[in-house]
Structure 1
Amino acid sequence: MTVRGAVEGPGAVLLQVKVWIVGSEPAIWRLLEIDPSLTLDRVHEVIQTAVGWRDSHLHSFTDTDPFVRLRAVNGIVREPRRWVPVDLLEDNEDDLPETDWTLGQVLTPESGPLFYEYDFGDGWIHRLELTGTLPMPPIAPRARLLDGARRAPLEDSGGIYGYHDLLDALADPGHEKHNDLQAWIAWTAGPWQEFDPEQLDINAVNKELALLFPAPTATEPHPGSESLTQELTNRMPPGLRREFRSYLHAAGLDGPATVEADVAEAMTAPYLWLTRRIGPEGLSLTAAGWLPPAVVREAMTELDWVKDWIGKANREDQTLPVLQLRESAQRLGLIRKIKGRLVLTSAAKRLLDDPAGLWLFLAKSTAHRHRHDSERDATLLLLLEVAAGKRTSWADYLEAVAFGLDALGWRNRTGTQLEPNTVHALLVDTQEVLLNLGIFDDRLGLETNTAKAPGQTFARAALHA
């Protein structure tokens, strides 16, 4: 199908378009350079990215101001034109497909402004005005943000007047709904971008706009060639990818993920002790399949866990730190149970005298060895939070991971969002590894668990694996 108004070959000009949200005070606006040959469905993507919406609601374009009543000219009232996504065409036979019309056709010096509505419930009306044109350079981005002010309103905040009321209540600690709205804002804004009504990162927006229009030479990644974080990013809803990518950058994932030998030895001490105690020849279990009592006592003493444990610490089934360490080492691929004996895997044998190698092995295993895809996604999101080093309690980690799992589409069987206890269950094994490595301090999850530099480095190594 030939697109109406499409420019043959490279466009002769770029359009300079000012977009602002009608009724916003102070104004929320963007100044863009846009290729006029872009169809309106792509212009929708540009507006979503430039303003900072999450593209989770319906939208349309119209050439008529929704707030102005049309007047008759020579007894005739001009019918407004409305462009919608293809799947909405059946709702109104007079609507036009946005995929068949270009911005250069509908926004001209003679046409007057164009209006874009996002979320038919909240009714966010954007006014698009053509402020000028300029010759298109031989190499130019299809869309670029030049200037602007203030972040997008929060989704589902009740339209522009509801958003203004929300900001007023947020600024007034004495407001009767202040605390409730703070909690709602924290959940709605999410863990990857702190809510600041004045925030606008033009460079970050332009990076996202560039990703909307990859160069013709760009090739699709081969299956399995994506990094863990790239794969997660690509599975995020388009409207959340910008926030997620910004958080990945803020977490320092492009930084180094190496470890000094002494730090590695200190962090991996529980796993080193266990693998060395088992040794190349293996270790016999009791008739009931437990570690011998002497070994349990030795573990609790050597690892300095006795002081935090009530009991004799001589029976593995009643000494959870040792039991959980053994089970963790099995899950991570360090040891196996064969005919009443614990034996080392070939990888563990190679790493008996290589703490740095064991550290890296544990990082890779933590990221990759899981029983279910939901556990894998939860673990990767938790590692991201550890790398960022911003959370202060286990509840904070659970809330952040729950937000990410929801964005990735994980739900309970009833279709509802995952509860904290469900998220905790997905993370039990990974939490145990982080406790054994000393990245987290509190097994009950009641105290501060802010990750320090060594833990952040471990998380980066795992996400790089």
Structure 2
Amino acid sequence: MTIRAADEEPGSMLLQLRVSIVGSEPAIWRFLEIDPFLTLDRVHEVLQTAVGWRDSHLHSFTDTDPYVRLRPVNGHVREPRRWVPLDLLEDNDDDLPETDWTLGQVLTPESDPLFYEYDFGDGWIHRLELTGTLPRPTNAPRARLVDGARRAPLEDSGGIYGYHDLLDALADPGHEKHTDLQAWVAWTAGPWQEFDPEQLDINAVNKELALLFTAPTAPTATEHRPGSESLTQELTNRMPPGLRREFRSYLHAAGLDGPATVEADVAAAMTVPYLWLTRRIGSEGLSLTAAGWLPPAVVREAMTELNWAKDWIGKANREDQTLPVLQLRESAQRLGLIRKVKGRLVLTSAAKQLLDDPEGLWLFLARAVAHRHRHDSERDATLLLLLEVAAGKRTSWADYLDAVSFGLGALGWRTRAGAELEPNTVQALLVDSREVLLNLGIFDDRFGLEANTLKAPGQAFARAALHA
């Protein structure tokens, strides 16, 4: 068979390929239709996508079952052939570059099955068996998942036997490690897909396979502009390829293509704190005390008008000791509604235009919470929090922190020492954005001790922010 590059026009036929993880019981398998002219490095991408791995470990192909010892023929033992990525070639002079060989060259009707190993530590062995060929229909994809069963095992679960032991422990509440393993599974699987050993979404897999072979379109002059990429697309592109697939599925499930509008009365109710403060400052501005605080009368007025006094212990007349008012003022400044000039609070030009426009203020706040941050880590944390709000699946603040922590880790955020971010660090990154959500009534538990019941307007606000 003639060698052809994977980015050339596809061939006129497709291989029918059964892929199964050796030793899995019940079997984890996939049935694929795949272009024989794909080089093995592209086949690796197809297998990662079709099986559901995260492409975070080394891999290789071989034409010999790693678990079977070859027998001599006429006194000679055939040397297995092994194809590896280019960066592994230097480790063994006998290895072959996977970029130079096509699937059709190494897997033929006359050959034995091909084997694909992923993660040399856990040793996930995949048996690739050619079951037939068929003419390639017009416009057929280079690779398509036809059928299959069960999700991929969890990464780093100790190989197929370790994975089986894990499933047994999860199914037995009396197992001594049941609770610990549940927590490990929740963190390893992550917040964007629930762990279900039986789950396989063939349509979602085929959407991802199609993306593997979608040629990028030439950007227009507008698309060359910095920041022209959508916020969610920019986050997606920064994810590792394996996690990118899970993240895209979660974005779709979060309903980000849903409406991001709000009724006037709902916007007015949600923006009450910011409307009150900007109207109280007014077009003439508001003088601060000599120490730079809001006048005591204004602090008391805010606590009364915004119905915050009932939950506050103290006189509520000094801004430096009345956190809800202080945090509201600081939030309005960060969001670009007000600023301090020569001992006075004054409205920005944008705020002056929004004094009688609750819907416009609602949209302004959505855009500001997504874009106005002191550090890129705060920005990423906020966008991940907004995604969770849009999805509406979390209830406790601890759950939000766990989901955002996972996302920040996927985006590469670490401490200076290279460690994963601790919950208190993530909490600090979200202080400002969470304050906005509290002021808007999207979160109703200021102290993070009770459930936060999200309502549709809150989800719509998060969608509007992510669309901004």
TM bucket, shorter chain: over 0.9
Give yes or no for contact 1:18–1:30 (8 Å, CA) kept in 2: yes
Greater Cα shift, 408-417 or 6-15: 6-15
Matched, 1:288 2:260: no
Matched, 1:239 2:242: yes
In structure 2, the residue matched to 1:46 is 46
Amino acid at match of 2:250: Y
Q: How far does residue 453 in structure 1 lie from its aligned partner after superposition? A: 1.1
TM-score (structure 1 length as normaliser): 0.98
In structure 1, the residue matched to 2:453 is 450
Matched, 1:463 2:458: no
SS across alignment from 2:379: helix
Q: How far does residue 442 in structure 1 lie from its aligned partner after superposition? A: 1.3
Alignment of 1:36-435 (within 5 A): 36-215=36-215, 222=224, 223-435=226-438
Distance 1:311 1:188 in 2: 45
Matched, 1:30 2:33: no
Q: Which structure 1 residue ranges, 5 or more long, are not aligned?
A: none
Q: How far does residue 444 in structure 1 lie from its aligned partner after superposition? A: 1.1
TM-score (structure 2 length as normaliser): 0.97
C-alpha deviations, 1:339-358, integer Å up to 9, x for none? 00000000000000000000
C-alpha deviations, 1:131-170, integer Å up to 9, x for none? 1101112311111100000000000000000000000000
Distance 1:217 1:292 in 2: 58
C-alpha deviations, 1:293-334, integer Å up to 9, x for none? 000000000000000000000000000000000000000000
C-alpha deviations, 1:360-389, integer Å up to 9, x for none? 000000000000000000000000001111
Distance 1:10 1:251 in 2: 35
In structure 2, the residue matched to 1:15 is 15
Give yes or no for contact 1:264–1:359 (8 Å, CA) kept in 2: yes
Amino acid at match of 2:450: E
C-alpha deviations, 1:380-411, integer Å up to 9, x for none? 00000011111111111000000000000000
Q: How far does residue 219 in structure 1 lie from its aligned partner after superposition? A: 5.1
Q: How far does residue 218 in structure 1 lie from its aligned partner after superposition? A: 6.4
Distance 1:225 1:370 in 2: 18
Distance 2:251 2:408 in 1: 16
Distance 2:252 2:310 in 1: 40
Distance 1:335 1:117 in 2: 59
Give yes or no for contact 1:5–1:105 (8 Å, CA) kept in 2: no
Decide whether aligned partners of structure 1 residues 458 and 96 sit closer, same or farther in structure 2, where only a CA change above 3 A counts.
Answer: same
Decide whether aligned partners of structure 1 residues 9 and 306 sit closer, same or farther in structure 2, where only a CA change above 3 A counts.
Answer: closer
Q: How far does residue 450 in structure 1 lie from its aligned partner after superposition? A: 3.1
Q: Which structure 2 residue ranges, 5 or more long, are not aligned?
A: none
Amino acid at match of 2:358: P
Give yes or no for contact 2:339–2:347 (8 Å, CA) kept in 1: yes
Give yes or no for contact 1:63–1:114 (8 Å, CA) kept in 2: yes
Decide whether aligned partners of structure 1 residues 300 and 348 sit closer, same or farther in structure 2, where only a CA change above 3 A counts.
Answer: same
Amino acid at match of 2:208: E
Decide whether aligned partners of structure 1 residues 135 and 218 sit closer, same or farther in structure 2, where only a CA change above 3 A counts.
Answer: farther
